[in-house]
Amino acid sequence: MAKVSLTTPVTEEQIRSLEAGDKVLLSGVVYTARDAAHKRLVEALDEGEELPFAVEGNAIYYVGPCPAKPGEVIGSAGPTTSYRMDPFAPRLIKEGLRIMIGKGERNDEVIDAMKAQGAVYLGAIGGAAALISKCIKEAEVIAYDDLGTEAVRRLLVEDLPVICVIDSQGNNLYRRD
């Protein structure tokens, strides 16, 4: 278990070097998307349309934040449960997505795609949303504004504390036996 600082965008090599159990401080741009946005992203790919952001080498954070209070960048912003994105994640991983941030289990299809393409699943602490929001320095809605909290946001994060839960070899901290 190592302590690693990582800045997006990332290379396959950087991702392949991460191991389950590593504590990662993540900085740079991450994009938010959850259920409804994932459905639209994959529908856009099916239609041959361009995605609202470049997936290649990037990170998606599964979060629907609270509204920002006046003068704040964003409201509380902890991870949502990831399995709901499982039907869509392999497709995005094939497009070059390298990092997913959430909480809770992933299915075998997602893990197989991670192994094949070189991607990791990072766990943020579910429910520690006030704490996590302190690491978010900029936030801007870039797509699907009509989805409200579920819109796609471009976040700039600084030292977001996460744990590598599933690495690109398929090692999984949730499956310890």
Partner 1 sequence: MRTIKAEEISRAVAKLCIDANYNLGEDIVNEYKLAYQRENSDVAKEILQQLSKNAEIAKEDQVPICQDTGMAVIFLELGQDLRVVEGDLYQAINQGVSAGYTEGYLRKSVVNDPLIQRKNTEDNTPAVIHTEIVPGDQLKITVAPKGFGSENMSQLKMLRPTDGVEGLKTFVLKVVKEAGPNPCPPIVVGIGIGGTVEKAALLAKKSLLRPLGVYNDDEKFKNLEQELLEEVNRLDIGPQGLGGLTTALAVNIETYPTHIAGLPVVVNINCHVARHKEVVL
Residues identified as active-site: 38
* Alpha-carbon distance values, 155 to 117, 134, 160 (Å): 24, 12, 11
* Alpha-carbon distance values, 78 to 25, 50, 154, 163 (Å): 15, 28, 15, 14
# of chain residues touching partner 1 (CB under 8 A)? 38
* Alpha-carbon distance values, 168 to 36, 93, 118 (Å): 26, 12, 5
Q: Which of 125, 156, 158, 169 binds partner 1 (CB under 8 A)?
A: 125
Which of 49-57, 68-76, 90-98, 113-121 is the region at the interface with partner 1 (rule: CB under 8 A)?
68-76
Q: Would you say 12 or 105 has its CB closer to partner 1?
A: 105
- What is the binding site for partner 1 (CB under 8 A)? 36, 63-69, 75-78, 80-81, 83, 103-105, 123, 125-131, 133-134, 147-150, 161, 163, 165, 173-174, 176
